[in-house]
Chain A
Amino acid sequence: MALEGQARAKFLCDAERCIECNACVTACKNEHEVPWGINRRRVVTIEDGKPGERSISVACMHCSDAPCMAVCPVDCFYQTEDGIVLHSKDLCIGCGYCFYACPFGAPQFPQAGNFGSRGKMDKCTFCAGGPEEDNSTVEFAKYGRNRIAEGKLPICAEMCSTKALLAGDGNEVADIYRQRIINRGFGSGAWGWGTAYEKKA
Chain B
Amino acid sequence: MKAMLCAFAVALVIAFAAPSVLNEFGWSAAERGSSATSVRLN
| Any A–B CB pair closer than 8 Å | yes
User: B17-40: contact bitstring with A at CB < 8 Å (1 yes, 0 no)?
Assistant: 001000000001100000000001
User: A147-172: contact bitstring with B at CB < 8 Å (1 yes, 0 no)?
Assistant: 00000000000000000000000000
B29 touches A118 (CB 8 A): yes
Main secondary structure, interface of A, reads loop
A-contacting residues of B (Cβ < 8 Å)? 19, 28-29, 40-42
Return chain A residues, CB-CB under 8 Å to B19.
Answer: 117
Give the distance in Å from the alpha carbon of A29 to the alpha carbon of B36 in the complex.
Answer: 24
Min CB distance A134 to B, Å, is 26
What are 13 inter-chain pairs, A to B, with CB distance below 8 A? A35-B42, A36-B40, A36-B41, A36-B42, A111-B28, A111-B29, A115-B29, A116-B29, A117-B19, A117-B29, A118-B28, A118-B29, A119-B29
Main secondary structure, interface of B, reads loop
B-contacting residues of A (Cβ < 8 Å)? 35-36, 111, 115-119
Min CB distance A157 to B, Å, is 26
Give the distance in Å from the alpha carbon of A198 to the alpha carbon of B22 in the complex.
Answer: 56
Give the distance in Å from the alpha carbon of A35 to the alpha carbon of B40 in the complex.
Answer: 10
Q: Which 8 A-B residue pairs are closest in the complex by CB-CB distance?
A: A118-B29, A117-B29, A36-B40, A36-B42, A119-B29, A111-B29, A115-B29, A36-B41
